[in-house]
């Protein structure tokens, strides 16, 4: 997969050479590039913003730098692309979106700054995403977070591809509690079921605890799921146990 980011602050992306993403870059599983679209400005002061027509607070990103950066990108890398605009008006990014985008060969992120974009920039865009109902200074942090969520789903990026399938949100539920050695620490014990080697019971415990954690912390996720009869049974047990605590 190739990911290009159009940004005014390319140095902000230094963390993308670290951790799992850094290893993906080293193994050529991901090609990640940042384009400083200030280089496509049209005046000696390299302005990329201007005041809005009709008046109003703040400055807007001008269309020319972003259009021309995209022109060069398309010329050097022809082919289909998903062009993503980071914008509060976009649909909320989630794990399902990460899975969908992980199947694409080429993604382009456009990171805004200032008060907003010239509306014509949206004609370049295939998708608009927001990370939530809050405002950041620019789109760079959002692009990094989305890149991390997407790239870790690419085959071979994680040391064990099964890890991604057990993450929170992959099956619509929050992830179950996990433990490692020692079995007892400061009076806190690892649940006995995880130590007995019975994988059928372990899987049932994990599903039940996922349901418990989701019911307690994110009941909105449960409302969107089509639970199996076994999951309904375990959820009813969870609810009864919680009421009796």
Q: Which residues are annotated as a binding site?
A: 112, 131-136
Kindly name the residue from 10, 52, 63, 88 that is annotated as catalytic: 88
- Give the whole-angstrom CA distance, residue 201 versus residue 176: 14
Q: Is 152 a catalytic residue?
A: yes
Catalytic residue among 167, 170, 175, 206: 167
User: Would residue 206 show up in a list of annotated catalytic residues for this protein?
Assistant: no
Q: Could you give the angle at which helices 140-151 and 19-26 cross, rounded to 10 degrees?
A: 70
Q: How many residues does the chain have?
A: 245
Tell me the sheet residues that pair with 61.
Answer: 49, 117
Annotated binding site for S-adenosyl-L-methionine: 112, 131-136
* Alpha-carbon 234 to chain mean position: 30
Strands 116-117 and 188-189: unpaired
> Cβ(171)–Cβ(47) under 8 Å?
no
DSSP state of 91: E
Please count the CA atoms within 13 angstroms of the CA of 115 that sit on its side-chain side: 13
How far, CA to CA in Å, does 242 sit from each of 67, 211, 212, 215, 230?
Answer: 56, 12, 9, 10, 18
Identify the active-site residue in 64, 104, 115, 170: 115
Strand order of the sheet with strand 2-7?
Answer: 31-36, 2-7, 106-110, 82-92, 127-130
Strand partners of residue 188: 185
Identify whether 88 is a catalytic site residue.
yes
| Rg over CA atoms, the chain | 23
- Catalytic option among 49, 87, 140, 152: 152
- Residues labelled catalytic: 88, 115, 152, 167
């Amino acid at each position: 997969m190739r990911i290009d980011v159009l940004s005014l602050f390319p140095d902000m992306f230094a963390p993308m050479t670290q951790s799992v993403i850094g290893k993906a870059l080293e193994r050529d599983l991901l090609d990640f590039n940042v384009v400083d679209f200030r280089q496509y400005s049209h005046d000696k002061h390299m302005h990329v913003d201007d005041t809005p027509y009709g008046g109003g607070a703040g400055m807007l990103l001008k269309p020319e730098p972003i259009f021309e950066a995209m022109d060069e990108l398309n010329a050097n890398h022809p082919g289909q692309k998903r062009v993503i605009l980071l914008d509060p008006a976009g649909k909320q990014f989630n794990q399902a979106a990460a899975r969908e985008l992980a199947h694409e060969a080429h993604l382009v992120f456009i990171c805004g700054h200032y008060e907003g974009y010239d509306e014509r920039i949206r004609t370049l865009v295939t998708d608009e995403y927001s990370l939530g109902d809050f405002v950041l200074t620019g789109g760079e942090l959002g692009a990094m977070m989305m890149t991390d969520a997407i790239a870790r789903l690419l085959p071979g990026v994680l040391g064990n591809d099964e890890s991604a399938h057990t993450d929170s949100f992959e099956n619509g539920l929050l992830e179950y509690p996990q433990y490692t050695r020692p079995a007892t620490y400061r009076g806190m014990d690892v649940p006995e079921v995880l130590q007995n080697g019975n994988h059928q019971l372990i899987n049932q415990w994990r599903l039940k605890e996922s349901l418990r954690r989701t019911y307690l912390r994110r009941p909105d996720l449960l409302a969107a799921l089509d639970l199996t009869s076994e999951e309904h049974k375990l959820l009813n047990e969870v609810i009864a146990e919680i009421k009796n605590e």
